[in-house]
Chains A and B, each alone.
Chain A
Amino acid sequence: MHTFEFERATDSAAAVAIAAHAKTAQQGADVRFVAGGTTLLDLMKLNVETPVRVIDINHLPLDRIEATPDGGLKIGATVRNSDLAHHPTVKRDYAVLSQAILSGASAQLRNMATTAGNLVQRTRCVYFRDTAMPCNKREPGTGCPAITGANRMLAILGTSEHCIATNPSDMCVAMAALEATIHVQGPNGARAIPIGDFHLLPGSTPDRETVLEPGDLITHVTLPPPVAGSRQVYLKLRDRASYEFALASAAVVLTVADGKVTRARIALGGVGTKPWRSREAEAALVGQPINQTSFRNAAEAALRDAKPQSENAFKIELAKRCLTHALQIATA
């Protein structure tokens, strides 16, 4: 591991001012904020992340969960994933978020990992993690060996000829279905970013994963007021029963009246290059009766543009069944 300057931030403005001098906030960033460290330290040991300055934000006052004036929820950047998952308001009103977080990682990692860190966690594509291999995300222009290589775990939605890496987060999938907003403090002030606009598709610049710029510090996430009577499910399918990334997952927030779907928010995980909100599936469901045909139609709509790689065509049917089953559980 290359060495770096380490400092503990005592106020957000100072942390932003230091990081504003970085050349990028994306892959190759020379300044990194650290909170849990579960992604950053992992990648620094592999020399995939090589910051020369690391700013510890754990002592900034960003660790609270509180109600917002409009009846929603404000979640601080450094709230630990375990605290978020077990928070009584989250369990009651945003159950899909609690379920998603508890389906990811291990109890130890959830005690460390934070809201903001989870938002920017990196892909587990094996080529990205191995500096001996080419990777357009890690070293732009070097190529993507995953496209002809080990791609069983990789994406089928949102891919490009330059990158097919999966976004690994469960939390972000639930937040996409809950229409979360990400709040950032930057060198030019504060701004709010809908989660759907926060992550970028790889396109020809897979090294750029989010809209964050140098100095941008995620301060908190807000959730809109809970939808009364909504039924929420996060279903995750994986190679082993626990402590594994998704092959496919589905976050479902449904409202049903008189046997018909009146409102649907749907996002998929494990299959997209970003947390995959499916407005196609939502449109296919609204107004439809709650039955297997409607659910399957929604799943077909969600995966219509899926593009299989050499080893992961199975994910298309798996994701369809995952969403169909999640809808069944939500309406049972």
Chain B
Amino acid sequence: MQATDVPLDKTINLTVNGARQAITVDVRTSLLDLLRERLQLTGTKKGCDHGQCGACTVHVNGRRVNSCLSLAVMHDGDEITTIEGLGTPDNLHPMQAAFFACDGYQCGYCTSGQIMSAVALLKEPCGADDADVKELMSGNICRCGAYANIVAAIQQVRKNT
């Protein structure tokens, strides 16, 4: 079979933050690029673009994934939740409020991925200790090194729920 450089488009239907939409995308588009470049949901960040940093973490059908390592066309029919769908400035998600209260960030670039990961963690099997939280948050890198406060924020939410 011969390679072609003619862009190939496909139309998909997906629900993003509760809103169902049809969108035509080049098949090469990652879920991350669909969110950021086509839907202008720029809260989800592109760090490494290779699944190594976690900045692009979103929820697909309620589970956290690296949106950079997934093709948008693989998500026909899926429900996607991004940081924009979690809370609003006037009505923060408890995890967003805890990151704020615990100062769980410095530059903020990794924060939306950290929070999406942390919210998903609440529904996953996870031991009670800080070490358990660190293990399950290891896919989210914070170059500023706000880890201690990120763990504190997550533990605060876990204790209150």
Contacts and interface: CB of A to CB of B under 8 A. Distances in A.
Given A108-B139, A242-B135, A242-B138, A3 B71 contact: no
Interface stretch (A33-41, A171-179, A309-317): A33-41
Interface string A258-283: 00000000000000000000000000
A200 B10 CA distance: 37
A3 B124 contact: no
Interface residues of A, number: 37
Contacts of B136: 107
Nearest to B113: A108
B74 A37 contact: yes
A257 interface: no
Interface stretch (A4-12, A153-161, A294-302): A4-12
Dominant SS among interface residues on chain A: loop
A45 B49 contact: yes
A53 B3 CA distance: 9
Contacts of A31: 1
B57 interface: yes
B120 interface: yes
A159 B104 CA distance: 45
Contact of A1 (B28, B66, B74, B134): B28
Given A3-B26, A3-B27, A4-B8, A105 B50 contact: no
14 contacts: A3-B7, A5-B8, A5-B27, A6-B8, A30-B1, A34-B74, A41-B68, A42-B51, A106-B138, A107-B139, A108-B57, A108-B65, A111-B63, A241-B134
Interface of A: 1-6, 8, 21-23, 30-31, 34, 36-38, 41-42, 45, 50, 52-54, 56, 58, 82, 86, 105-109, 111-112, 241-243
